[in-house]
Amino acid sequence: MPQLLKSLTPEQKEHFDTEGYLIVKGLFTEEELTEIDRTFEEIGSRAVPGYFEPNLQAGTADPLSRYPRVMHPHRFNETARRYLLHPPVLAVLEDLYGEEALAAQSMFYYKPPGSRGQALHQDNFYLKVEPGNCIAAWTAVDAADEENGGLLVVPKTSGHEIVCPELADESESFTKHLVKVPPGLKAVPAVMDKGDVLFFNGNLIHGSYRNKSKDRFRRAFICHYAPASLAKIATHYRPLLRADGTPVDAETSMDGGPCGVEFDALYPH
């Protein structure tokens, strides 16, 4: 039976607008989640140069050496491409944007037990969508909580400016950049069941915990989108895709941003 496209309630839209994020249930069937699971289990068994480059002989000191994130799987895998353009997700995005959403990026995180987290950051620092903003759709392929490395979000930071990050503690974060929590606000866990989708604004400060569990992966299929009215985006995310897979080009955003080009050269993300 075809899935009904999700229409958000006024309360859901208000939550996204005021808090900067929204968890939506029911956008993927159990069969679809199983297909995503099987697809990335197969991808995880081998290297895909330029997209997934694991150390297949890695020990246990750094689990992410064996299971790094998969970058842009939609560019080499048809299943990933299909779920990047998943109609129920695109319907929610159209509600949030008030216009057509274009797909910019897909990723898959395995995050096995013992993995470092990801320091707090802002996505549009990297995507550089102009005008407007990117929105992430973060799908929990496994349940995600504080124990197994679930997400942290800082509510009400979606309206904050993109800031130049500091350097993160790389013993705790696998990425280099850290954006500090503004005074008076705090990071809170976004606890998610398997199949939940978290949507959040590109300025929202967010990150993740270390996976402290003994035997629980925290797999996630993560995609980024931009409004059809955009003019520019960072070059790594071009071309964008319409719902039917048609490529859409945009101008390349200039390097630098709030840090200047020197920061980009020294600390690539």
Q: What are the pLDDT digits (tens) for 11-53?
A: 999 999 999 999 999 999 999 999 999 999 999 999 999 999 9
pTM over cut 0.85: yes
For residue 201, give every residue at least 6 positions away whose Cβ sits within 8 Å of its Cβ, in sequence order, or none: 16, 20, 21, 133, 135, 158
10-266: CATH, from 3.10.690.10, 2.60.120.620, 3.40.605.10, 3.90.209.20: 2.60.120.620
Q: Which of 161, 107, 125 is nearest to 253 (CA)?
A: 125
- Other Cβ atoms less than 10 A from the Cβ of 209: the count is 23
Q: Which residue has the higher pLDDT, 264 or 82?
A: 82
Q: Answer for the pair 145, 117: CB distance below 8 angstroms, yes or no.
A: no
Q: How confident is the model over 195-221, as a mean pLDDT?
A: 97
**Helices H, strands E: what count in the chain?**
7, 16
CA separation for the pair 21, 14 (Å, rounded): 10
Which tokens in the block code for residue 10?
A: 């006024």
In the prediction, which pLDDT does 5 show? 72
**Please, what is the average pLDDT of the chain?**
94
Q: Please state the rounded mean pLDDT for residues 178-203.
A: 97
- Is the pLDDT assigned to residue 266 strictly greater than 50? no
List of residues 6+ apart from 236 with CB closer than 8 A: 105
Domain residue ranges in the chain: 10-266
- Residue predicted with more confidence, 5 or 243: 243
